[in-house]
Chains A and B, each alone.
Chain A
């Protein structure tokens, strides 16, 4: 499947095309098929999204899973968390 993703212009938040708008959760993303470019032209022009692009993903029961590791990290956040108090071996769940 193809997902359309970008950043919210004023905040920089990562956003995903839901079919009718933009969500901050990849689980809400829909398959844009071949329409990605057309949608992003309209949405970027209206400044409802910034620097949007199409990525590959596979559907899963928990929502779309981006194909490339970079896009997965973009979807779930950094795999490391800054916390000076945490123990050295404290692991961040790697949902990538």
Chain B
């Protein structure tokens, strides 16, 4: 993974100093809250329902054990002993004090971490595939491009005051494990005639008006990447709407002027920008790529695992994925224990995961956009030991991609933007479907809950999605079916009138019962829905 050189470190250290200065000027009254707010947001600090919340960046979801332990330390020292992993592969802390924030950033900087641009109307964390470097289907490690983009976007002087937030995702396989098409810019690395390049999609997003990003350029090479993306951003910065925050994302611009016109403007701007020399030389690409070389796998690692422990076998089948290197496997640690808070981990659990990564995964972990943690390079011979340690730490729920592997935003329990609580609902749904056999029978079923239209829970992309709304001062929930954030991307459709909390749990059960009654051989819920449509489910729900 990427390691800082002196330049990276000096830049982060300067940022710590800058924010300390800004906090001091806010506390002393030299700055008003209005002046300070964008500055603190650009250091990940929100003022939420109960306290300040700090969102720490995990660049493209990759970190090592030392960094993971620091996250646990921050939770213990400055928060209430736990952290929440997010749908953009970051971590957030709910109980931070403004006066501690500069010290927190200083501590993070000692392990090459920061909270830079994790909020605000700027370019956010570049996200990527949690299986990068381990998946057999990738053409190259997408994180090399993600790291190039990370550096380019950090404190980019032209794009620090965009109309709205900007989210970029890079993947490198046809299978989309990172919801790439639902980003402001999504890039899929492909190979053409032996040359590596990216297909560029622009204008995806969820929120009030969900859209799937159309392809804007079919191929951009690494030496044109930054110029091209700069051109994309410049057109957005100049022409994105600034009159209405609900119409300010780039997806609205594309929708209003059309993809063809946007493409034309970008190509024109690209010609101008390309001449400026903003693209680094190949040597820089190679320098970064070298840090993402495969770890020192044991070529003689034995394949095959002893399945005699039935609980281990269940976890093996559900949470362990194939690795491109023989004798190795990819482990997904579920942060969705039945009845627990989706995506949360205690400082102790964080330490356990750090140690397991250090010992059994070449000192690397990933955060997934589904709010789970991945150990990307585990020798098959070590799987049983890893599982035992996870079991002891309450981290061995065998529910990857099953109905209880719920993506949920923090919701009204924590978030001042929310209309309804999402966590208690997630707990109720998981408890209703707690039976492991029932879950496995239902199979792959991605359920996603957002507490408001901002869609941080990605409900539009859920096979089953739930949206919390405010119905005359009480919490109400809309049910959506048929969304997908994978390469078969689609946006969920609302079933009909909403429900209260217990009502939506019942409705979901009626939907899954209907699926079981109607499914053909081998069909996931999503497949059955796409085959038979909304009507049978509507009938099952509403009678």
Q: Is B50 an interface residue (CB 8 A)?
A: yes
In the complex, the answer to whether A73 meets B434 with C-beta atoms within 8 Å is: no
Inter-chain contact total with CB atoms closer than 8 Å: 87
Question: How near does chain A come to B382, taking the closest CB pair, in angstroms?
Answer: 24
Given contacts A7-B47, A77-B50, A88-B339, contact A69 B475 (CB under 8 A): yes
A70 in contact with B416 given A14-B50, A51-B47, A84-B394 (CB within 8 Å) = yes
Interface size class on chain B is 35 or more
Task: Judge if B29 is at the interface, Cβ distance under 8 Å.
Answer: yes
Whether the Cβ atoms of B49 and A88 lie closer than 8 Å is no
Within 8 A of B (CB), among A68-91: 68-70, 73-74, 77-80, 82, 84-85, 87-89
Please measure, in the bound complex, the distance between the C-alpha atom of A14 and the C-alpha atom of B431, giving whole angstroms.
Answer: 32
Given contacts A12-B52, A78-B50, A88-B338, contact A68 B431 (CB under 8 A): no
Q: How far is the CB of A71 from chain B (nearest CB, A)?
A: 9
Residues of A within 8 A of B431 (CB): 88-89
Interface residues of B in 321-348 (CB under 8 A from A): 337-341, 344-346, 348
A82-B47 contact given A69-B412, A70-B418, CB 8 Å threshold: no
Question: Is A37 on the interface with B (CB-CB < 8 A)?
Answer: no
Contact B413 A73 (CB under 8 A): yes
Q: Are B413 and A79 touching (Cβ within 8 A)?
A: yes
Place the interface of chain A in its size category: 20 to 34
Q: How far is the CB of A31 from chain B (nearest CB, A)?
A: 20
Q: With A and B bound together, what is the CA distance between A85 and B474 in angstroms? A: 31
In this complex, what residue of A is CB-closest to B34?
A51
Partner pick for B51 among A12, A67, A82, CB 8 A cutoff? A12
Bound-state CA distance A69–B424 (Å) is 15
Write the chain A residue with the least CB distance to B416: A70
A-B contact pairs, 23 of them (CB 8 A): A7-B47, A9-B27, A10-B97, A12-B47, A12-B52, A12-B98, A44-B33, A51-B47, A67-B473, A68-B473, A70-B412, A73-B421, A74-B49, A78-B50, A78-B423, A80-B423, A82-B346, A84-B337, A84-B348, A85-B394, A88-B337, A88-B431, A88-B434
Interface residues of A (CB under 8 A from B): 7, 9-14, 44, 47, 50-51, 67-70, 73-74, 77-80, 82, 84-85, 87-89
